[in-house]
Amino acid sequence: MTARIRVMIVDDHLMVRRGLATFLGAAQDLELVGEAASAAEAVRLCNEIRPDVVLMDLRLPDMDGTAATHLIRQAHPNIQVIAVTSSQEDELVSAALRAGAVGYLLKDVGVTGLGDAIRAAKAGRPTLAPEATQALLRQARGQAVHGETLTDRKREVLTLMVKGLSNAQIADQLVLSRSTVNFHVSNVLSKLDAASRTAAVSIALRQRLVE
């Protein structure tokens, strides 16, 4: 049996935590391993219990969730963080992704969407709410464009990265070896000056590098 994905909830509202906990309890492949009502508590618990995925509210009483995300990702690169918030502010979206969040969801996300995002996060694949994608596109106006040196093949790879495909899936789709895809992905990150796949996707969406 495949190990369940270990999830921690960070939100200062008890009812929100209870709702998320109920959902996690009903999913056979997900396990709630911790809850935190503040950023400091979230950072401390991540050090202790090492969850696979953190559902992070961005409006916390002691520190904003982007700062907590940055601290968690710095200390534990294998822990994935999904921002789950009611805010659609353009700058908050990009700030969360720059801090290392692998996903950005609004709190009205359905249970299916949340479950899929958690599973994608465990695999290192980004999930963005449509509103977050639109925010990134709006920020593209007036910004310098990266990617002039991307070859057609690398643009194909970047397009599939934006769609959330893993390297293995990209290899199957483009009929390439995995080592070749790994090389292309690494090269795309370098060309875009992106520290991660999520950052590359963020840049691609903001600057309309792919259709």
pTM over 0.85: no
Q: What is the pLDDT at residue 52?
A: 97
pLDDT digits (tens, 9 = 90+) for 155-175: 899 999 988 899 999 999 999
The residues spanned by each domain of the chain are 5-138, 142-206
pLDDT digits (tens, 9 = 90+) for 43-55: 999 999 999 999 9
Q: What CATH number should be reported for the domain whose range is 142-206?
A: 1.10.10.10
Q: What is the pLDDT at residue 22?
A: 93
CATH class for the region spanning 5-138: alpha beta
Collect the ranges in the chain with pLDDT lower than 70: 1, 137-149, 211
Q: What is the pLDDT at residue 142?
A: 41
Measured CA to CA, the distance from residue 209 to residue 147 in angstroms comes to: 7
First to last CA, the chain: 39
Q: What is the pLDDT at residue 40?
A: 92
